Amino acid sequence: LAALCALPLAIVAAAAALRSTKQGATLQPIEVHLEGQPGQQWAIAASTGTVEYSTIKFPPLKNDRLLRTVRGEPVDRIPVWIMRQAGRYLPEYRKFMADKEFFAMCRNPKQVAEVTLQPILRYDLDASIIFSDILVIPQAMGLAVKLLPDKGPVFDEPVDSRATWAKVQDRLLSTLGLKVPAGASSAEKNKMLVDNADKLVSPSLDYVYEAITETRKALDGRVPLLGFCGAPMTLAIYMIEGGGSRTFAKTSHLMHGDPETAHEMLAVLSHMCAHYLMNQVKAGAQALQVFDSYAGALSPAIWKEFSLPYMKLIADMVKAKYPEMPMICFAKDANYGLESLSQTKYDIIALDSSMDLGENYRRMTSKGKGVQGNIDTTVLYAPPEKISEVVAKELKAAFGGMKALPTRYIANMGHGMNPDHDPEHLRAFIDAIHAFKPTP
C-alpha cells in the first residue's frame, strides 16, 4: 500500500522534469525506489512519465507514441500497430518457418525475437507484439495441442465434461506436488489450483518471458513491446471444443448444462492469465492486450456470465501490482459489452469492424477510456490507392471535426492480418494512418 501511495508523487516528479524538455525527447529514466516493496524498483522515464516495471536494463525508448496516447497525451501522428503483424502474409516469415514447427519455434526465444522484428524492420509501425500463441496457457496445463495446416489448433483430448476437467485438476495438482486431502471436492481442488496459479505459468512458460526480454533488447528502443494472452472464455472454448468451432455446441452444452465446471475452469484460467501477464511485465513488456476472440461466439448473457467477470479479474490483478501498466482488451463481436468493459480497469477498449469508430471513441473517452481499431481487414484486398482513400475517409468521418489529432486512439484493424494479404497493401494502410490530419 505504501508503494502505491508513493507512485503518484514519483509521477509528479517525472512530470516536473518533463516541463523543461521537448516532447518526445529521450532522457535517462529517473530511478524511483518505493517503500513497502522489498527488491522492487520502478523507473519512470522523465520524458514521458512512462513507468518501467522491469528491473532489466533495456535501451531507451525512441518512439513512445502508443504509450503517450494511452495516457491521453498529445501525439504528432496516430500510432498504429496491427494484430498478427508478424505472420504468414510476410514472405520473410514463410521462408523462416519453412523448416520449423510452429510451437517449437515459439519456445525458442531468439527465433521468436527474429520473427517479432520482421514487420518492425519492414514497416513504420508504432508498436511490436511478441510472437506467441494464446494456447500456450492450455499447453501449460498439460494439454497437447497440434497446429494442423488445414484445421488450425487441435487438442488431443477436449476438456468438455466434469470428468475430463477432473483429470486436468488431478494432473495439475500432481505436477505441483500438492497433497490433496482425501475426499476433497472439485471446488476444494480448484481453490488449491487458483492459490498456486503462479506456479502453473512458471517455469512452464519461462520461454515466453525469455523471448520478451530477448525481443525487447533486439528492438533497441525502436517501439514499445506488447505482451498478450487469450481471454479465459476464449481459451475455455478451445479446450472444450478441442479446437476451433463454428457451432460451439460442446461449449453451449457445458456452460448451460454444467456451469459449475465451466466456472471452475475459468477461475483457474483467469488466475493463470493474470500471473502470466505479470511475468511478461517483469520480463519487459510495456503494454498488454487480452484477446477475447470468441467473445461473440454465444449469447450476450453467456459472455456476461462466463467472460466479463474473468476479464475484469485479470485487469484487477495486474493493475493491483502494476497500476500504470497500459492494458488493452479486445472482445470481438461483442459490441453489447462495451459499457461493461468501460467500467473495468482496462485503459483501451479495442473495437471490431462492426462498431462505429467515431461514436465509440467519443463514448469511451467520456468515460476516461481510449479505443483501438477498427478498419475492416478486407480493405487490404483493395488496390493501394483505394486503401489510402478508404482509410482517410474513415478517419475523417471519426475525427475530422477535431482541432487536433485524437488522443486515446490507437489505429489497428478490426481483426488480424490474413495469410493472403499483400504486404505492400499493409504499407499503404500504415502510411495512410500516419498521413491523417484533422480538418476542423
Summarize pLDDT for 170-181 with one digit per residue, the tens.
Answer: 999 999 999 999
Query: What pLDDT shows up at residue 129?
Result: 98
Query: 239-249 b/e with 16+ CB inside 10 Å = b?
Result: bbbbbebeebe
SS3 state at 418: coil
C-alpha cell at position 268:
483457474
Q: Output b/e per residue, 264-300; b: 16+ Cβ within 10 A.
A: bbbbbbbbbbbbbbbbbbbbbbbbbbbbbbbbbbbee
Instruction: State the DSSP code for 245.
Output: -
Residues of the chain with pLDDT below 50 are 1-42, 44-47
pLDDT score, position 439:
83
Instruction: Tell me the CA distances in angstroms from 399 to 94, 409, 429, one per residue in order.
Output: 37, 10, 17
Task: Give residue 149's pLDDT.
Answer: 83
| CATH code, 72-435 | 3.20.20.210
Phi, psi (5° rounding) for residue 356? -75, 120
**Residue 383 CB burial class (10 angstroms; 0-12, 13-18, ≥19):** exposed
pLDDT at position 49: 74
Torsion of CA 166, 167, 170, 172, to 10 degrees: -110
- Report whether 348 contacts 371 (CB < 8 A): yes
pLDDT one-digit tens code per residue, 316-363: 999 999 999 999 999 999 999 999 999 999 999 999 999 999 999 999
Cα separation, 9 vs 2, in Å, equals 12
Among 291, 319, 281, which Cα is nearest to 136's?
291
| pTM of the entire predicted model | 0.90
The residue behind cell 530511478 is: 31
Span between the terminal Cα atoms of the chain, in Å: 46
